[in-house]
Amino acid sequence: MENKQKLLIIDDDTELCDLLREYLTGEGYNIKSCFRGDEGLSTALSEHFDLLILDVMLPVIDGFEILKQIRSKTSMAVIMLTARGEEIDRIIGLELGADDYLAKPFNPRELLARIKAIFRRLSPERLKNGNSNRKILIGDLEVNVATRSLIRNGEELHLTEVEFHILEILLTSVGKVINRQDLALQALGHKLAFDDRSLDVHISNVRKKLGNKIENGTTERIRTIRGVGYMYVDSEA
């Protein structure tokens, strides 16, 4: 019998948790809910979960602090829930390492689509599809696609799953411009709304972790092509 993917919901809205538990259970997931931040953090760190659905506003410990502590110990996928209109909450969540976010209120079908997009990136089938032993060697970077590991000048760097996938896409097309919407569709699983800055924040995180200069600090790694998208620079071109 196939094991169900296990999801943890941390949200103090008990009615929403009940709705999501019923809906996502019907879609084949194993769901557990916590209604306080301290309880949710303890549960997230003491049990195995494939994905966390995390509200920002929580009693005792807020979602940002939970995300910080989780990211210091695990790379578990995280979708943040934010209040509609609170763009700063979305940006902070992404900067702290959330994989994606949804603004409340939302349609459970949209949440399901975001969950499926994350699991598609993590699926063994995708990694096995010609990538079982694939390494990308470009400049000072060594990327192992199968193990999701990244080494720069002999030092291992830690990226979230979505950050790693963005870098993988850019490196696979090094020297070529990737359209912003195409990159979002591949890396996030959905196209961007007009005011959606999630991809830009993920790119910023990747730049910070890699150091955005190569070749003795004179060449930009990831270049923004204004009005078009992004490109990982081929320093030998």
**Secondary structure in 3-state letters for 126-189:** HHHCCCCCCEEEECCEEEECCCCEEEECCEEECCCHHHHHHHHHHHHCCCCCEEHHHHHHHHHC
Residue 192 shares a structural domain with residue 218: yes
CA R_g for the chain = 18
Residue 133 lies in a domain: yes
Residue where one domain finishes, among candidates 62, 93, 122: 122
Q: Apex CA 98: angle with CA 152 and CA 137, to 5°?
A: 20
Domain boundary among 87, 122, 157: 122
pLDDT value of position 14: 95
Domain containing residue 20? 6-122
What is d(CA 224, CA 52) in angstroms, rounded to the nearest whole number? 31
Contact status, residue 163 vs residue 98, Cβ threshold 8 Å: no
% the chain with pLDDT above 90:
57
Mean pLDDT of 29-58: 96
Looking at per-residue pLDDT, the higher value among 39 and 147 belongs to 39
134 exposure class (CB count in 10 Å sphere: 0-12, 13-18, 19+): middle
pLDDT at 66: 97
- How remote is the C-alpha of 161 from its chain's centroid? 5
Phi, psi values for residue 93, rounded to 5°: -60, -45
Mean pLDDT for 159-178 is: 91
Q: Whole-number mean pLDDT of the chain?
A: 87
Q: Residue 121: what are its φ and ψ, rounded to 5°?
A: -65, -30
Residue position matching structure tokens 């850019």: 170
Is pLDDT larger for residue 134 or for residue 18?
18
d(CA 29, CA 5): 5
For 69, the token pair is 């502590």
CATH number for position 30: 3.40.50.2300
Q: What total number of domains does the chain contain?
A: 2
Domain end position, chosen among 122, 142, 174: 122
* 63 residue type, one letter: G
Does 1 reside within a domain?
no
What number is the average pLDDT over the span 157-179? Answer: 91
- Per 3-state DSSP, the chain is made up of helix, strand and coil in percentages (nearest 5) of 40, 25, 35
Asked if residue 224 and residue 183 are part of one domain, the reply reads yes
pLDDT at 128 over 60: no
Q: What residues have CB less than 8 Å from 64, skipping those under 6 apart?
A: 56, 92, 93, 96
pTM of the model: 0.80
